[in-house]
Structure 1
C-alpha cells in the first residue's frame, strides 16, 4: 500500500508544470428531492481528453477519491454512488476508474427534510494521463425542493452496478505469510467481454491484491490476498466483503461472501 502511494506521489512530480484547471473541472448538480425527503444530487467531473480519475477501489497504482462534507448545513449523511468504471492497464499495472468525464450521484439525507440543504464538498483525487497529479476541488451548492429529475444524474444511476445473487457463492480463507488468501467461487453466467473481478474488504486498513480469476462455463473462481497494515493479524468480516465483476458495458456486484 505504502509503496503504491509513494509511486503515485513520485509519478505526480512532473505534473507541476501542468495546472489543475487545464485538466479537470467540477460542479455539483443539485438534482431533486425524493419522496422520502432525501436529495439525489451529483458531483460532475469533466477531464481533459484522455485524462482519467479513479474509482473507489482504484488498484495499486491509483489514488482513491476522498470526500469531505464539513461545512455543509442541514446534512445528516451523504452517500456516494459509483457508476460502473473501466479497467486500465498501464506499464503492467491495473487501475480502475473513469476517463474524460464522470457523474457521481450522491444521496444526501437532510437533518430536516422541510428545509433547504447547503452542501459543501472538498474532493481530493488523482488525475492521470502520461503523468499523474493530485487535484483538490472545492464545491458548494444549495439543494432545494425541486422534484424535476436531472437526465445526467438519471443516466449515471442507470449505470450503477447491478446487484447479483450468484448461486453457490462462497469464500475459502487460508492464512498466508502476511495475511489471508481468499478464494471466491460462484455460479454466474458470463457477463460480457473483458471480465475483471475486484475484491473489497470493507475496511480501508486492509489492502487487497489484484484478483486472479478463471472461468469454466458458468463457474467463476477468483483469488486475492488480504493484508492488514504492517502485516498485523486481523479478523476477516465475510459480510463486509464486496465482489464486483466488471465487464465491457457494465458490472455486477455481490455483497458478502460466506463460508462454503
Structure 2
C-alpha cells in the first residue's frame, strides 16, 4: 500500500454550500481520508492502482452518475509524471434515498480501481491528482483534496483492489439482454429518451440510470417500469443551450440496478 503524500480538504468550499443551520463544527474531523493503493503492473504494461477513501461513519459519496442533485466526481491527474491516461473501474454502488431523490453511491469506504497507462513504457510512474467529490449524510457537501504517490512496478496483487474489480456490474450479455432499443422525441429544452430493454428481471426494485458520453448534457432521473419482458426507462436530456439536438445512440450508457445488489451494464442502443 502506498500512502497519499498529501490530503487537503477544501473546507471553505464546503462551508459556502452548507445550510445556515450547519456550521464547521458540525462536520466530522475525519470527514474523508484518502490514500493511493499502489497495486501492480499488468501484463499490458499498465499499473492497476486504486484510490482508497475512508469516510466518517454514516457518510456516503457519489458514484460516477450522481443523480439530479448530486456532485459529479472529478479527477485531475495532470500533475502526474509519465501518465498517458487513467481508466476508472467503478465498483457496483448502493442506491440511497435522500430528501426524496435517489442516488447511487458508496457508504463509509470506497476502493476505486484506477488503471494508469504510462506515456513511456518501462519508466517510473508517479501520480499526483486533484479530486473533487460530494459527500452526504443528512446534508451533502463538496470536498476537494490532493493525493500523490509513486507507483511501484514490482508491487504485488492487492486483495482490496481485486475485490473491487470483481464487484463491477455484470455485462448485459451475461445477464440475458436480447434487445436494447431507444427512441427519442424533442422536448422544449432537449430530448426525451425512452429505452426499452428486453432482459430478465434482476431484482424486486429495478432502477435504470442513463448516462451520455457528453457529460455536459444534464440527464434526469429515469422513470423505470416493467412492461412484460421489457424494462422501460424514460429520461430527459438537456444540453447547455436548452434545445433539441442529434443524439448518437451508441453514446447512451445504461446501468440497471435490481435493488438486490445486482447491477447490469450496457453500452449503446438501436433506433
Tell me, yes or no, whether TM beats 0.5. Answer: yes
CA distance in 2, matches of 1:28, 1:12: 32
Equivalence map 1:35-184=2 (5 Å): 35-146=43-154, 148-165=156-173, 166-184=177-195
Q: Counterpart in 1 of 2:211?
A: 200
2:264 is aligned with 1:231 = no
1:258 corresponds to 2:270: yes
Per the TM alignment, residue 147 of structure 1 is displaced from its structure 2 partner at its CA by 5.0
| Aligned Cα root-mean-square deviation (Å) | 1.8
Give the TM-score normalised by the residue count of structure 1. 0.91
* Alignment partners' CA distance in 2, 1:200 and 1:85: 15
- Output the CA distance in 2 between the equivalents of 1:184 and 1:239: 13
- Residue 233 of structure 1 deviates from its aligned partner by 3.3
Where is the helix percentage greater, Structure 1 or Structure 2?
1
> Aligned partners of 2:106, 2:121: CA distance in 1, in Å?
33
SS at match of 1:62: coil
CA change 1:233–1:181 in 2 (3 A) is: closer
Q: How far did 1:12 drift?
A: 5.8
What is the aligned length?
252
How far residue 180 of structure 1 moved from its aligned partner, in angstroms, is: 0.8
Shift of the 115–18 alpha-carbon distance from structure 1 to 2, 3 Å rule, reads: farther
Give the CA deviation at 1:183: 0.8
Give the unaligned 5+ runs of structure 2. Answer: 1-14
Q: Contact 1:182–1:226 at 8 Å: present in 2 too?
A: yes
SS at match of 1:245: strand
1:12-63 per-residue CA deviation (whole Å, 9 max, x = no partner) reads 6625334574211010000000011100000001111110010111111211
Contact 1:181 1:224 in 2 (8 A): yes
| Deviation by residue 1:220-260 (Cα, 9 ceiling, x = unmatched) | 1111111111413322111111010013313111100110x
- The 5-angstrom pairing of residues 204-223 of structure 1 reads 204-223=215-234
In structure 2, C-alpha distance between the alignment counterparts of 1:162 and 1:24, rounded to whole Å: 29
Where does the alignment leave 5 or more consecutive residues of structure 1 unmatched? 1-7
The 1:218–1:11 alpha-carbon spacing in structure 2 relative to 1, beyond 3 Å, is farther
Q: TM-score, normalised by structure 2?
A: 0.88
Distance in 1 between residues matched to 2:73 and 2:28, nearest whole Å: 16
Q: Is the 8 A contact 1:179 1:233 kept in 2?
A: yes
CA–CA distance in 1 between the matches of 2:210 and 2:66?
A: 11
**Distance in 1 between residues matched to 2:186 and 2:165, nearest whole Å:** 39
Could you tell me which residue of structure 2 aligns to residue 3 of structure 1?
none
